[in-house]
């Protein structure tokens, strides 16, 4: 993997498209993703962004935005003013096209520095989206940040299975992500499990019951309707659907999402979000 670092002029990107209904801005501490060769990278929709990849294979590069915390501080007043004029609030999705806590975060500390900067200059709302349990290493900062803004930590756990046939392992074990959710939740940090994209679940009742015990809410989304194409075509062009179908042929149909939502609602009544509404923090009553 090619690992580089480079400065960025403005790390706060004004959102457009589907993400505009979730937050006013997105923030990518890295360009590319070092989890691109793990299970989540197989169907990852970001790999189809040619502007971002510049033709490079997904998972082959990571660029650390070395001045991201400085850039956040410098651009904060202007972007806050813009959000207050044009959106409901100054809200940030961190991150939508990279993992904020890749293994290389231990060396670069880009996301850690941004979170500390946010203690001084908080947004109105922060959605911290991650696949990695290392988010719990920042528990103290997150607890303080939760006092300064509306914070939700979204931890992706797409299935209760550690492996799907023929695909690489998860970037982080399912068990470790559950443990991180438990730690954050116990510390009073608003924690949401995002089951997205929904993968075949071995024991749905046990899975959602476990989520109910360690999270404030759950969000489910299917690759059909959730991958940025109208019919799941982007994901169908990858190896993910075939592996899902091998485990459970029903799981590649949209009806599977409906069935799993029904199970989730049994265990988390009023705390289940679906599709983009769920990512926005709107749950079904």
Phi-psi region of 218 (alpha: psi -120 to 50; beta: other; left: phi over 0): beta
Q: Which is nearer to ligand SF4, 44 or 64 (CB)?
A: 44
22, 40, 157, 247: residue in contact with ligand SF4 (rule CB under 6 A): 40
CA–CA dist 267, 265 (Å, integer): 5
Each residue 97-116 as x (binds ligand SF4 by CB under 6 A) or -, in order, gives xxx-----------------
Tell me if 35 contacts ligand SF4 by CB under 6 A: yes
- Least separation, in Å, of the C-beta of 32 and ligand SF4? 9
CA–CA dist 25, 67 (Å, integer): 18
- Least separation, in Å, of the C-beta of 68 and ligand SF4? 16
- Least separation, in Å, of the C-beta of 2 and ligand SF4? 16
Q: Say which residues have a Cβ less than 8 Å from residue 48's Cβ, sequence separation at least 6.
A: 228, 234
Helical residues (DSSP H) of the chain, grouped into ranges: 39-43, 50-53, 68-86, 105-108, 110-120, 139-148, 174-186, 204-214, 233-236, 240-247, 254-267, 275-279
β-pairing, 125-130 vs 150-156, is parallel
Instruction: Give the pair of three-digit tokens for residue 144.
Output: 């303080």
Binding-site size, ligand SF4 (CB under 6 A): 11
**CA nearest neighbour of 243 among 253, 251, 232:** 251
CA–CA dist 117, 182 (Å, integer): 25
Q: Which is nearer to ligand SF4, 36 or 146 (CB)?
A: 36
Residues between 123 and 152 that touch ligand SF4 (CB under 6 A): 131
β-pairing, 91-94 vs 25-27, is parallel
Percent helix, strand and coil across the chain, each to the nearest 5? 45, 15, 40
Integer CA distances (angstroms), 123 to 74, 76, 149, 259, in order: 14, 9, 6, 36
Among 31-39, 140-148, 157-165, 275-283, the segment contacting ligand SF4 (CB under 6 A): 31-39
Residues between 63 and 82 that touch ligand SF4 (CB under 6 A): none
Among 36-44, 134-142, 252-260, 276-284, the segment contacting ligand SF4 (CB under 6 A): 36-44
Residues between 80 and 99 that touch ligand SF4 (CB under 6 A): 97-99
Tell me if 36 contacts ligand SF4 by CB under 6 A: yes
Among 30-38, 186-194, 213-221, 270-278, the segment contacting ligand SF4 (CB under 6 A): 30-38
Tell me if 226 contacts ligand SF4 by CB under 6 A: no
- Least separation, in Å, of the C-beta of 146 and ligand SF4? 23
Interface with ligand SF4 (CB under 6 A): 33, 35-36, 40-41, 44, 46, 97-99, 131
């Amino acid at each position: 993997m090619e690992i580089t670092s480079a400065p960025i002029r403005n790390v706060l990107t004004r959102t457009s498209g589907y993400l505009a209904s979730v937050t006013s801005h997105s923030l990518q501490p890295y360009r590319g993703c070092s989890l691109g060769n793990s299970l989540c990278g197989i169907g990852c929709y970001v790999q189809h962004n040619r502007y971002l990849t510049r033709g490079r294979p997904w998972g082959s590069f990571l660029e650390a935005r070395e001045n991201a915390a400085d850039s956040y501080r410098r651009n904060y007043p202007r972007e806050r003013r813009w959000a207050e004029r044009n959106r409901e609030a100054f809200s940030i999705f961190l991150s939508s096209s990279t993992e904020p806590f890749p293994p290389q975060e231990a060396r670069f500390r880009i996301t850690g520095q941004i979170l500390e900067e946010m203690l001084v200059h908080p947004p109105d709302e922060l959605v911290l989206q991650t696949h990695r349990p290392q988010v719990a290493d920042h528990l103290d900062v997150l607890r303080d940040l939760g006092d300064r803004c509306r914070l939700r930590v979204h931890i992706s756990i797409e299935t209760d299975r550690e492996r799907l046939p023929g695909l690489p392992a998860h970037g982080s074990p399912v068990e470790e992500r559950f443990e991180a959710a438990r730690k954050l939740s116990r510390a009073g940090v608003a924690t949401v499990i995002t089951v997205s994209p929904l993968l075949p679940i071995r024991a749905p009742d046990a899975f959602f019951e476990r989520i109910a015990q360690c999270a404030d809410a759950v969000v489910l989304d299917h690759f059909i309707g959730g991958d940025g194409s109208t019919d799941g075509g982007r994901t169908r062009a990858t190896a993910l659907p075939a592996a899902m179908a091998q485990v459970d042929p029903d799981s590649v149909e949209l009806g599977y999402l409906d069935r799993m939502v029904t199970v989730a609602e049994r265990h988390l009544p009023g705390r289940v979000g679906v599709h983009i509404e769920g990512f926005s923090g709107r749950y079904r009553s």
